[in-house]
Structure 1
Amino acid sequence: MKPIRRRTLADHARGFLRDWSLPRQFRGESPYSDAAKSSGSARLRPRLEEADKVGTNICPYCAVGCAQLMYAKDGTLIHVEGDPRSPINQGTLCPKGAATFGWLTSELRMSKVLYRAPHSDRWEERPLDWAMDRIAHLAKQTRDETFVHKLPDGTVVNHTLGMASLGGATLDNEENYLIKKLFSGGLGMVWIENQARV
C-alpha cells in the first residue's frame, strides 16, 4: 500500500502563490483578465443572484431623497443599494442610506404598537387600528379643548396652540401642501414645521 503524503507548509505556500492573483499580475498579466481571479473568487456568487423581487424606495433619512433598490427573496429583504437610474444619487448612498438594510432587519427594530397608559409602569401591545383611532381621538380632544375662536380684543383667529407638527425632511412639496392645508385649515394648528428647515 502506498503511504499517504502529508502536505507540508512549503506545499501550502506553493499552492497559495499559484492561486494568489498578485504574483501573476506582477509578472505582467492584465489585472482585468483571469489573472485577477483565484479559486476562492471563482467560487463567489453575487449575493443579489438569489433575489426574486426588486423594488424601489426613497431613503427616508434626510432631505436629499436618494433612490434605493430593495432586493427580496421569498418576501424577505436581503439587500439595499443605491439606484443608478436616479439623477439625485446616481447609485450612491451615504452612510445613513447604506445602513438602511441593517435598520430594517435589526432584531431591535420595533414592529408592533406599544402603549403605556398614563401613570403605568409597563408597555402593552395594541393593534394598529386601535392606535390610529386613539391618535385621532386625542387630536380632536386636544383641538376642542384648546381651540380659540377670538382673542380678548375681538380679533378672530380660529386656531389652537395645543398641537404642533414637525414633518419629515423627505416629504415633497405636494405632501407638505396637503399637510399645511389639513393642519392649519382643518385643525387650526399654528406651529407647523419641517425637519428640512430645523
Structure 2
Amino acid sequence: MNVNRRQFFRICAGGMAGTTVAALGFTPGAALAETRNYKLLRAKEVRNTCTYCSVGCGLLMYSLGDGSKNARASIFHIEGDPDHPVSRGALCPKGAGLLDYVHSENRLRYPEYRAPGSDKWQRISWDEALNRIARLMKDDRDANFVETNAQGVTVNRWLSTGMLCASAASNETGMLTQKFARSLGMLAVDNQARV
C-alpha cells in the first residue's frame, strides 16, 4: 500500500478519534450470536435403569438437588446413557417420557389400602404395608404348605402363592430373590420379562 504523508495523518487521526470515543463509553453492545450456557453445567448426574419393561435400558438423570426428600422435584432432565451396554443411549417413547412420569400429579408415592367391600383407598405407612404383606404371606403359607406328597416323600411346597420378580435387577439381586422364594417353598416364580 502506497500512503503519502497527508493520508497517513488522516488514518492516525481517525484511529485516535475512534479509540477516544470508545474510552468514553460509546462502545457497541454485546453480540447477539453468543453461545447459551450449558443447561447441565451445575447438575448432579445419576445413572439409573429404566423401570418400564424388561430390557433394562440405561438412564442418565440430572438434578440440582442435594439428595433431600424433595429430590423428585429437582430432576429436570433424563436421557439415555450412551455408555450402557444394553441400550447404548437409545430410549423408547416410554423411556424418553420418564420426566413427565416423575413429575406427574397422579403418581403413587405411598402405599394405599382398600378394605374389602370399600370403594375408598386409604393411605397407610410403609411399615403397615410391609407388616400386612408379611402377615398375609405367613397365614397363607401356614394354611397351604405341603410337607410331603402322596408317596410320603418330603417336598416342602407352597403352591398357593407365586412371586413375580423384576427383570431389570442385577444378577446378584436375581439370585437372592430366587433363594428367598425357593426357601419359602414357592414353585411359581416368574420374571417380568415374560409378562
TM-score (norm. length: structure 2): 0.72
Contact kept? 1:53, 1:71, Cα under 8 Å: yes
1:80 deviates by 0.5
Q: Which runs of 5+ in 1 are unaligned?
A: 1-38
Select the structure of larger CA radius of gyration.
2
Aligned pairs for 1:11-26 (under 5 A) are none
The match for 1:172 is 170
Structure 1 residue 194, shift from structure 2 partner: 0.8
Alignment RMSD (CA, Å):
2.1
Find the residue that maps to 1:103 and give its secondary structure.
helix
1:113 equivalenced with 2:111 (yes/no): yes
Higher relative contact order structure (alpha carbons within 8 Å, sequence separation ≥ 6): 2
The alignment partner of 1:157 has SS state of strand
Structure 2 letter corresponding to 1:195: Q
User: Contact 1:61 / 1:170 at 8 angstroms: preserved in 2?
Assistant: no
Q: How do 1:156-195 residues align onto structure 2 when only pairs under 5 Å count? A: 156-185=154-183, 187-195=184-192
> CA shift at 1:43, angstroms?
7.6
Asked if residue 48 in structure 1 is aligned to residue 40 in structure 2, the reply is yes
**What is the 5 A alignment of 1:9-158?**
45-49=37-41, 51-74=42-65, 75=71, 76-158=74-156
- Give the share of equivalent positions with the same residue, in percent: 40
- 1:54–1:72 CA contact under 8 A, matched in 2: yes
Q: Which runs of 5+ in 2 are unaligned?
A: 1-31, 66-70
Alpha-carbon displacement from aligned partner over 1:52-99 (angstroms, at most 9, x marks no partner) = 321110112223222111111233111101122223322221212111
- Matched-pair contact (CA < 8 Å) for 1:183–1:189: yes
